[in-house]
Structure 1
Amino acid sequence: MKITSAQAWWVQIPIEADKQHVSDFGRLRTFDSAILRLETDDGLVGWGEGKNAAGSAGDYGTLVHLLNTEFGQRLIGRDPADVTYIWEDFYNGVRAGKARKAGHVMPDLARRGLTVAAISAIDIALWDILGKADGKPVWRLLGGAKSDRLRAYASGGWADKDNIGAQLQSYVDTGGFNGVKMRVGAMDGTPHRSAERVIAARNALGPDVELMVDAHGTYTVSDAKRFAYLVRDCDLAWFEEPVTGDDKIGMAEVRAASHMPISAGESEATRFDFRDLIVGRCVDILQPDPACCGGITEAMRIGTLASSFNLRLAPHLWAGAPCFFAGLHVCAASPASFMVEFSLGANPMIHNLSNDPVTVVDGMVAIPQTPGIGLDMNEAVIEKFAKKG
Structure 2
Amino acid sequence: MKQSKCFKSLLVTMSLSSGVFVSGFANADIELGAILPLTGGSSENGIDQQRGIELAVKELNDKGGVLGEPVKVIFEDSAGNPMTGLGAVKKLVQVNNVPVVIGSFSSSVTIPVGQYLEQQKRIHINISGTSTDIRNIGDYSYSVIGLDNLSSQFSAQDVYDLGYKRAVVIAPNGAYGQGTVKQFSKFFKEAGGKIVGTVLYKMGQPTYRSELDRLSRLKPDVYVYTSYGQDAIVLNRDAYQLGLNQTPWYAKYLTMSTGDSPKEYTNGQRGMEVQSLGPDGKHYVDAYTAEYHKAPQSAYGSFAYDAVMLAAKAIETAKSSDPDKVQAAMQDIAPSYEGITGAFNLDKDHMRTTQPYKRVKIAEGKIELR
In the superposition, the TM-score normalised over structure 1's length comes to 0.31
Q: State the TM-score, normalizing by the size of structure 2.
A: 0.32
